Amino acid sequence: LSTGPLTGVRVTLTAGPTREALDPVRYISNHSSGKMGYALAQAFTDAGAQVRLISGPVNLPAPAVDALVQVNSAQEMLAAALADPGDCFVGAAAVADYRPATVADQKIKKQGDAIDDMTLALVRNPDIIAQVAMSRPKPYMVGFAAETQALLSYARDKLVRKKLDLVIANDVSRPDAGFNVDTNTVTLVDQHGDKALPSQSKTSLARELVNEIAQRYQAHAKK
């Protein structure tokens, strides 16, 4: 039986990209590989937590979790997140902010040789983590911030605007951090201040992050 620092705590975690369909054969997405989220899922399990992993489409073996929910779109990820947000919710997924306004039933055809341009109409996707933060009882809320500039000020803005308890900020302009690489460099941002962690593999970073989250979760649960 597990005796880790998060024994019995229910963690809901999102990972990977979302895919927003344009037609039966095309979609809009991003470069998230799921590596960061899957490493966290494993580290939470190792810390004794009951992990529910909501995953976008990735090419990774399933980690040892209590439940793996596979989704494609942001709307599907939202429904899965709200169905059971857990005691602690961690948003590591790179959710598409916009989706095509309409999904064509049939493959979209070229418009003919004389027309070179095509315009795509997009609509806003729901903000999954902000909606989970409005559920009651409110879980301890951990978000990521993926930024290419002004990392810490955007991260702090997300902390307040999305009503999060902790933001893990990664500077995705660095070649050794963020999307689709094996390493990451992050700074933790919460109401007490900022804490930069050393650059390292996503596997070892996940263990460090789970320790940091466990300490904060326990202090929060005592309130």
Which are the contacts of 119, defined by CB distance < 8 A and separation ≥ 6? none
User: Which contiguous run of DSSP H or E holds residue 98?
Assistant: strand 98-100
Residue 34 makes contact with ligand PMT by CB under 6 A: yes
Residue 89 CA: distances (Å) to CA of 1, 10, 133, 200, 212: 23, 9, 9, 23, 14
User: Which contiguous run of DSSP H or E holds residue 50?
Assistant: strand 50-55
Residue 78 CA: distances (Å) to CA of 55, 83, 85: 11, 9, 10
Nearer to ligand PMT, 9 or 206 (CB): 206
Say whether 130 sits in a helix, a strand or coil.
helix
107 is in an annotated binding site: yes
- Options 148, 180, 215, 218; binder of ligand PMT; rule CB under 6 A: 180
Residue 93 makes contact with ligand PMT by CB under 6 A: yes
158 is in an annotated binding site: yes
Nearer to ligand PMT, 45 or 158 (CB): 158
CA 10 – CA 175 distance, rounded (Å)? 34
- Among candidate residues 30, 125, 180, 184, the one labeled active-site is 30
Lookup result for tokens 């989220």: 37
- Options 12, 19, 35, 54; binder of ligand PMT; rule CB under 6 A: 35
Per the CB < 8 A criterion, the answer to whether 170 and 186 are in contact is yes
Residue 85 makes contact with ligand PMT by CB under 6 A: no
- Options 46, 76, 97, 157; binder of ligand PMT; rule CB under 6 A: 97
Q: Which residues pair with 50 in a beta bridge?
A: 10
Residue 98 makes contact with ligand PMT by CB under 6 A: no
Residue 91 makes contact with ligand PMT by CB under 6 A: yes
Nearer to ligand PMT, 48 or 187 (CB): 187
129 is in an annotated binding site: yes
Per the CB < 8 A criterion, the answer to whether 12 and 81 are in contact is yes
Which amino acid is present at 172? Answer: V
Q: Is 184 a catalytic residue?
A: no
Nearer to ligand PMT, 108 or 197 (CB): 197
Q: Which residues bind ligand PMT (CB under 6 A)?
A: 14, 16, 32-37, 74, 91-95, 97, 125, 127-129, 143-146, 158, 170, 172, 178-180
Q: Which residue positions form the known binding site?
A: 97, 107, 126-129, 144, 158, 162
Q: Which residues are annotated as a binding site for CTP?
A: 97, 107, 126-129, 144, 158, 162
